[in-house]
């Protein structure tokens, strides 16, 4: 049986984390005792980790990794390398805000032998017009920078094989803010077996976004410079 690691970065998600774990833990259970659901928490001051610790008492496949707040992209790099170090055959990533639906995972899993990378396409975003604009703008920037037209480069709903990740993850600069975006670019540029599937993307289910539009703009500006410098490396 394939070993699946479901990884979920979190920061100040005390309003969502219990429901998110209840949603995704049954999927980890389907794949036997070697598979895991792992929460990577950036030392949330709101008690997120404490909720996870309590839930671990009745969920043996639920793991928790705690480290200083370092940002979403850097957290993903830690999480992906962690899963690879545990020899996961497949890594699935989503976020802790409850915007994705676990019922849509099965269609991805069924095609794992045909595709090494499967990414959700947020055709309709439920988290506001500003985020929709960010997604479209990023698509244009990636086209101008890398010459690649990518539907949705930063989606937090992706199933990736160990083989593909081992080939591409080391090419991403340490602690980069847009790890998923650069991974998607690298996968597509190097012609990995890759496909997109439409997914539901709901409004945040509780709490507040920990990143503001001002921060998004700042990250975007830095990322444009990074993209140009990385065109040959990916």
> pTM for the full model?
0.89
- Measured at the CA of 148, the angle between CA 146 and CA 70, to 5 degrees, comes to 65
Q: Starting from the edge strand earliest in sequence, which strands make up the sheet with 4-10, in order?
A: 62-66, 36-41, 4-10, 90-94, 157-161, 117-121, 194-198
- In this structure, what token pair is assigned to residue 190? 């190097």
Average pLDDT over residues 109-130: 82
pLDDT in tens, 6-18: 999 999 999 999 9
Q: pLDDT per residue over 67-81, tens digit each?
A: 999 999 999 999 999
Q: Where are the alpha helices (DSSP H) in the chain?
A: 17-29, 48-56, 72-85, 105-110, 129-146, 162-168, 179-189, 213-229
CA–CA separation, 218 and 161 (whole Å): 32
Which domains, and CATH codes, for the chain? 4-229 (3.90.550.10)
Residue 20 clears pLDDT 80, i.e. is over it: yes
């Amino acid at each position: 049986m394939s070993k699946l690691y479901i990884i979920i970065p979190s920061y100040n998600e005390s309003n969502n984390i219990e429901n998110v774990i209840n949603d995704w833990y049954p999927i980890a259970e389907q794949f036997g005792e070697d598979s895991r659901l792992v929460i990577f928490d950036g030392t949330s001051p709101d008690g997120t980790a404490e909720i996870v610790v309590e839930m671990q008492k009745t969920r043996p496949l639920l793991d928790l990794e705690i480290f200083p707040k370092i940002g979403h992209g850097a957290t993903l790099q830690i999480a992906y390398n962690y899963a690879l170090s545990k020899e996961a055959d497949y890594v699935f990533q989503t976020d802790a805000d409850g915007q994705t639906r676990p019922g849509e995972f099965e269609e991805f899993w069924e095609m794992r032998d045909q595709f090494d990378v499967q990414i959700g396409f947020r055709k309709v975003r439920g988290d506001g017009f500003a985020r929709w604009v960010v997604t479209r703008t990023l698509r244009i920037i990636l086209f101008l920078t890398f010459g690649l037209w990518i539907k949705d480069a930063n989606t937090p709903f992706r199933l990736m094989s160990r083989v593909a990740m081992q080939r591409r993850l080391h090419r991403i600069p340490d602690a980069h803010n847009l790890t998923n975006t650069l991974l998607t670019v690298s996968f597509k540029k190097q012609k990995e077996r890759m496909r997109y599937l439409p997914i539901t993307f709901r409004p945040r289910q509780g709490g507040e976004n920990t990143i503001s539009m001002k921060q998004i703009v700042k990250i975007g500006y830095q990322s444009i410079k990074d993209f140009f410098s990385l065109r040959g490396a990916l």
